Amino acid sequence: MDWKNILRSHIERKVDLADEQFDYIASFFKPMSFRKKDKLIRPGEPVHFEYFVLNGCLSTYVINDQQKTHILQFAMRTWWASDYNALYNQGQASLHVDCVSDAEVLCLANEDREKLCRELHSMESFFRWRSNGGYVSLQRRILSLLNNDAQSRYEELMQQYPELYNLVPKHLIAAYLGVSRETLSRFQSH
Amino acid sequence: MDWKNILRSHIERKVDLADEQFDYIASFFKPMSFRKKDKLIRPGEPVHFEYFVLNGCLSTYVINDQQKTHILQFAMRTWWASDYNALYNQGQASLHVDCVSDAEVLCLANEDREKLCRELHSMESFFRWRSNGGYVSLQRRILSLLNNDAQSRYEELMQQYPELYNLVPKHLIAAYLGVSRETLSRFQSH
DNA sequence: CAACGATTGTGATCTAGATCACCTATACTA
DNA sequence: TAGTATAGGTGATCTAGATCACAATCGTTG
């Protein structure tokens, strides 16, 4: 499936678009290819884009002063990723975004999203819907961190996204769950 | 300050409104008063409204099978609260929302928000902005849970919202931070 | 293919924070 | 005003998970 179809059917999960409307929208998205470990956003640098994943997997994370990594999000096909705090507020990135595997993405500049939202009420509606969905799923993650032990968080994640098991190295899954790689490894054994 | 002014200046943090526009918007908000411990949303029941806090403090939480409480959010003046998952998806509540103190709120029905968003592009834009802000602050909370120990989460919270110290009982602050009330109490001593 | 880094597993030990038990003080409610 | 929740504090013990140390395997790249 070509990227315009992937994008169009993604947006049309929420709003219907005429062909000319979609072509106009698509004109703001720039397809790009990246290799495993390529960096899309580095802390300290300004953030101009958000990324829509066509293929492969990105991760969004921080590295703390003790050099420990904490992963906010893995982004796979039809997911979005950026340092939204920096993007929305024209600030410097505090997050890393890079490629867990080779990846194809669409880049959308912050000002182009805002322009689309201004010009097309349906796009404003789409992006509100996307943000609402993200909010609800972060709430779920917080409750899971507060309520469940590491093993059940791991089982929950593997059950919801089984493809992560082979796509993402275990120490990154540990960094997402908030558990050490050693402890995660002991879960698998039995 | 009367409730219309509180609401208007809140919305105008993001979008400008003509007087007639605002009056129309305000007509969908219903002011209500609640007493400490009154329940606005109970798990298992359908959710029709979201709540904008004028005064007092609400909390949004779950109680797990071991009867432990985990708090997702405290909502004070100019904050919003609901079980958004249930509200957006017409489902049954899985969260509790109730009053930590006596409170005055404005109720907005889900279908009225959607109507406002459909009719007024500026309101769609406002609610997208609100949702973006919520998303970013939940990200911050997740990173804090992953990265910081209980004591620094406590200090962070008290530094950001000092008014919680006197407004909210300590065992609820513990339930927000994801720590036992005993452990929280030991932080305070020294 | 040789070599180095990345990934994973596993034992031994240590610790932040949970849990249990009990006590005190304040605040509603009958 | 007595009686019962609610809130908070503190000691003693227990445990999930962190940390440290080491070994083995896999993959990439010159």
- Asked if residue B51 is part of any domain, the answer here is yes
Closest CA–CA distance from residue B165 to any residue of chain A (Å): 21
Instruction: Please give the nucleotide, over all strands, whose C1' is closest to the CA of residue B180.
Output: C18
Backbone angles phi, psi at A116, to 5 degrees: -60, -40
In the prediction, which pLDDT does A189 show? 56
B35 CA, C29 C1': separation in Å?
A: 17
Q: Is A146 on the interface with B (CB under 8 A)?
A: yes
C-alpha–C-alpha distance, residues B57 and B104, integer Å: 9
Supply the DSSP string of B99-167, one letter for each residue: ESS-EEEEEEEHHHHHHHHHH-HHHHHHHHHHHHHHHHHHHHHHHHHHHS-HHHHHHHHHHH-TTHHHH
Instruction: Please give the nucleotide, over all strands, whose C1' is closest to the CA of residue A185.
Output: C9
B71: β partners: B61
Q: Is B152 on the interface with A (CB under 8 A)?
A: no
Mean pLDDT value across residues B165-175: 96
- Asked if residue A165 is part of any domain, the answer here is no
In the prediction, which pLDDT does B190 show? 45
Q: Is the pLDDT of residue B78 over 70?
A: yes
In the prediction, which pLDDT does A1 show? 81
Mean pLDDT value across residues B116-127: 98
More confident site: A86 or A190: A86
User: What is the band of B149 on the pLDDT scale with cuts at 50, 70, 90?
Assistant: very high
C-alpha–C-alpha distance, residues A80 and A10, integer Å: 11
Q: Is A178 on the interface with B (CB under 8 A)?
A: yes
- What integer best gives the mean pLDDT of chain B? 96
Least CA distance to B134: which residue of chain A? A135
Predicted confidence (pLDDT) per residue in B3-14, tens digit? 999 999 999 999
In the prediction, which pLDDT does B1 show? 80
CB A113 within 8 A of CB A126: no
User: What is the band of A190 on the pLDDT scale with cuts at 50, 70, 90?
Assistant: very low
Predicted confidence (pLDDT) per residue in B19-62, tens digit? 999 999 999 999 999 999 999 999 999 999 999 999 999 999 99
Q: Is A79 on the interface with B (CB under 8 A)?
A: no
Predicted confidence (pLDDT) per residue in A124-170, tens digit? 999 999 999 999 999 999 999 999 999 999 999 999 999 999 999 99
Q: Is the pLDDT of residue A188 over 90?
A: no
Give me the B residues in range 149-178 that sit within 7 A (CB) of strand D.
169-171
- Asked if residue A16 is part of any domain, the answer here is yes
A58: β partners: A75, A99
The SS3 of residue B97 is strand
Contact between B147 and A84 using a beta-carbon 8 Å cutoff: no
Q: Is the pLDDT of residue A52 over 80?
A: yes
- Asked if residue B189 is part of any domain, the answer here is no
CB B165 within 8 A of CB B172: no
Q: Which helix (H) or strand (E) holds B25?
A: helix B19-26
Order across the sheet with B49-55: list the strands. B30-34, B103-109, B49-55, B80-81
In the prediction, which pLDDT does B18 show? 97
Instruction: Please give the nucleotide, over all strands, whose C1' is closest to the CA of residue B36.
Output: C28
CATH number at residue B20: 2.60.120.10
C-alpha–C-alpha distance, residues B39 and A73, integer Å: 34
Q: Is the CB of B30 within 7 Å of strand D?
A: no
With pLDDT > 90 as the criterion, what percentage of chain A qualifies?
97
In the prediction, which pLDDT does B188 show? 78
Nearest to B135 among A62, A134, A145 (CB): A134
Give me the B residues in range 130-189 that sit within 7 A (CB) of strand C.
149-151, 178-180, 182-183
Q: Is the CB of A14 within 7 Å of strand C?
A: no
| Beta-carbon pairs below 8 A across chains A and B | 83
- Asked if residue B86 is part of any domain, the answer here is yes
In the prediction, which pLDDT does B189 show? 56
A67: containing domain: 3-147
- Asked if residue B154 is part of any domain, the answer here is no
Residue B47, C-beta contacts closer than 8 angstroms, at least 6 positions apart:
B41, B82, B83, B86, B87, B91, B92, B93, B110
Q: Is the CB of A150 within 7 Å of strand D?
A: yes
Q: Is the CB of B185 within 7 Å of strand D?
A: yes
Least CA distance to B145: which residue of chain A? A145
- Residue given tokens 């409204």 in the structure block: B49
Mean pLDDT value across residues A50-78: 96
Q: Report the domain count for chain A.
A: 1
Contact between B138 and A138 using a beta-carbon 8 Å cutoff: yes
Buried b (16+ CB within 10 A) or exposed e, B136-145: bebbebbbbb
C-alpha–C-alpha distance, residues B12 and A118, integer Å: 17
C-alpha–C-alpha distance, residues B145 and B41, integer Å: 26
C-alpha–C-alpha distance, residues A53 and A21, integer Å: 21
